[in-house]
Amino acid sequence: MKIHKEGYKPIAISTIAFAILNLLSFYFISYSLPLLSWLIFIITFGTLLFIISFFRLPSRVHTLDSEKVIAPADGKVVVIEEAVDPEYFKEKRLQISIFMSPANVHVNRNPVSGEVVYNQYHKGKYLVAWNPKSSTENERHSVVIRHPKGEILVKQIAGALAKRIINYLQVGQKVEQGGEFGFIRFGSRVDLLLPVGTKVNVELNQVVQGGVTVIATL
């Protein structure tokens, strides 16, 4: 397992903070209040382990298939429904949403290969990611990839804890299925908007792996 590049700075800062807090605790608290000193160590060490785990980048064999839409993120499928897209298509699409908890791997991957034809960041609220309004009201970043069988919109959505959406793509860029296109810090959600009638290969509440699980068949 590797550490994602987005984690280098947060992990370095967290490690320094861990060392400073525990050195101060050792010199000024451990003699008079040993239990408090141990409590500080346990809490700070647990926090450091969580932050390292959050930015993990596990080794996986990715699914590559031009006929398939692959999961853009780790998490749980929380929405499978038809909905009108007010942003780009201006018509009804099949929406599949994946909720990413803080315990999930948070790198985002291209669900298909193709050309980026739309890329737009939107400021917004920080409603909990499973709230239906989060798709249109939360901070979000939308990308449309043109595939030979149709255009697919991938939307990174900030949740109540997510305060930074990172997107690496640009309009006109050619992307490969399974390649990294972004990262979201802490709890969040990713929406896929597919052509109506697309065959769905997952069920509600199913746990999926980014770059691995087949979401739909084009």
Active-site residue among 25, 97, 142, 188? Answer: 188
Each as own residue / partner, the long-range contacts of residues 12-15 (CB below 8 Å, 24 or more positions apart, any chain) are 14/47, 14/48, 14/51, 14/52, 15/48
SS3 string, 137-175, reads: HECEEEEEEEECCEEEEEEEEECCCCCCEEECCCCCCEE
- The answer to whether 162 and 187 have CB atoms below 8 angstroms apart is yes
Contact 179, 202 (CB under 8 A): no
101 tagged catalytic: no
Length of the chain: 218
Contact by Cβ (8 Å): 96, 82: no
- Classify residue 156 by burial, with Cβ atoms within 10 Å: 0-12, 13-18, 19+: buried
Q: Alpha carbon 80 to chain centroid distance?
A: 18
Q: What backbone torsions phi and psi does residue 167 show, to the nearest 5 degrees?
A: -130, 130
For residues 76 and 205, the answer to whether their CB atoms sit within 8 Å is yes
Nearest to 192 by CA among 166, 149, 153: 153
Residues annotated catalytic, as ranges: 188
